[in-house]
Amino acid sequence: MLWYDSHVFAGPVVSVSVDLDPVECYFRIHALPGGPADEIRHVILRRCLPRLADLFARHGIRATLFAVGRDLEEDTEGRRILADLASAGHELANHTHTHPYDLVRLPRPRIAEEIDRAHAAIAAVCGRPPVGFRAPGYEISAEVIELLCARGYRYDSSTFPAIPYYLAKAAVLGLIRLSGRRSGSILGSPAVLRAPREPYRPAAGSPYRRGDQPIVELPITVTPWLRLHVIGTTLVIAPEWLRRRMVAAALGSPFFNLELHGIDLADAGADGFPAALVAKQPDLRVPLARKLAALDATLKEARDLGAQFLPLRDAAEQTVSRGEPAGFAP
Ligand SMILES: [Zn+2]
């Protein structure tokens, strides 16, 4: 889509993306012993993703689905669901091969392998090589951006300049460490908190500063006030008045990059999530109907404002077409 088409839409560009983190990731974050039982190992792709696909169909949205390469290799049914969604017009993008939270701390060849194996698996599923990347746990580095540029990626969408999230993550990781355990997650540089909130080209050697790298960074949306993260997890947990205010703030920007996770539409009881995980993950304690209502209302509010829904791939092209550093400036 050419950028000048957008003048027929009065509202902002809205991109909805889903990180398809497998259940095993949540065991790693919370340092839960063992791994998920076989019955729930593939629940995100097989049960949560179809619910999200129904939601998108109701609102006429083509979304971006960030897939973990290993799942595509191991889960035939999940692979088929993703292939069908790609045929229906959704974008499949790269969320690494094994979702290592410490991606940025791995040696360069291992980082490259994480990107390349997922790249190949996704290209095999949808017949179209991915052009977008999101890092596990939102942690990128100059090295990761460099590797993506070398592979011709058009965009990265990992920057998450959310102040309350950063502080909460620091607190949780601290508590886990105090208890003598070790989370699979890591705390990255606080430089992310000063990153632009709008799309930008990152600087070589400094992914959170504007520069001239041949890739577009599409930050995940935070509110202008408090830099509160407007993502699925917060929208389904927040009281209705706060959800409305966060969404209104996000829709006040030219570009709303709405990040969801597959787990956002989990039905903890029916899907068989273990009590130990439900105890750690507040959104799993919210009834599915309530979570669906929150996301439905959010997408309706966007539509009512005349939003133009685009997969991240197309949103990145718009940014490029308009030239830098203007991005989505109206
Ligand atoms: Zn993830």
Q: 285 CA distance to ligand 1 centroid (A)?
A: 20
- What distance in Å separates the CA atoms of residue 102 and residue 254, rounded to the nearest whole number? 32
pLDDT at 227 over 70: yes
Q: 262 CA distance to ligand 1 centroid (A)?
A: 9
Q: 261 CA distance to ligand 1 centroid (A)?
A: 8
pLDDT at 2 over 80: no
Q: In percent, how much of the chain has pLDDT > 90?
A: 74
Q: 25 CA distance to ligand 1 centroid (A)?
A: 8
pLDDT at 327 over 60: no
Q: Which amino acid is at 328?
A: F
- What distance in Å separates the CA atoms of residue 263 and residue 325, rounded to the nearest whole number? 35
The pLDDT, as a whole number, for residue 165 is: 79
Instruction: For each of the domains in the chain, give its residue range(s) and CATH number, in order of start.
Output: 11-322 (3.20.20.370)
DSSP string over 59-112: HT---EEEE-HHHHHH-HHHHHHHHHHHHTTPEEEE--SS--TTGGGS-HHHHH
pLDDT at 142 over 80: yes
Q: 308 CA distance to ligand 1 centroid (A)?
A: 25
Strand 206-210 to 202-203 pairing: antiparallel
Is the bond into 196 cis (omega within 30 degrees of 0)?
no
- Region 65-88 average pLDDT: 96
Q: 66 CA distance to ligand 1 centroid (A)?
A: 8
Q: 21 CA distance to ligand 1 centroid (A)?
A: 5
Q: 9 CA distance to ligand 1 centroid (A)?
A: 31
Q: 136 CA distance to ligand 1 centroid (A)?
A: 4
pLDDT at 326 over 60: no
Q: Is the pTM of this model over 0.85?
A: yes
The pLDDT, as a whole number, for residue 92 is: 98
| Sign, Cα dihedral of 203, 209, 214, 220 | positive
Evaluate whether 203 touches 213 at the Cβ level (below 8 Å): yes
- Region 265-288 average pLDDT: 95
Q: 17 CA distance to ligand 1 centroid (A)?
A: 11
pLDDT at 83 over 90: yes
pLDDT at 99 over 50: yes
The three-state (H, E, C) secondary structure of 147-174, written as one string: HHHHCCCCEECCCCCCHHHHHHHHHHHH
Q: 92 CA distance to ligand 1 centroid (A)?
A: 14
pLDDT at 322 over 80: no
- Region 72-92 average pLDDT: 96
Q: 317 CA distance to ligand 1 centroid (A)?
A: 23
The pLDDT, as a whole number, for residue 173 is: 78
Burial (CB count within 10 angstroms: exposed 0-12, middle 13-18, buried 19+), residue 127: exposed
pLDDT at 263 over 90: yes
pLDDT at 320 over 70: no
Q: 260 CA distance to ligand 1 centroid (A)?
A: 10
The pLDDT, as a whole number, for residue 7 is: 46
Q: 309 CA distance to ligand 1 centroid (A)?
A: 22
The pLDDT, as a whole number, for residue 9 is: 60
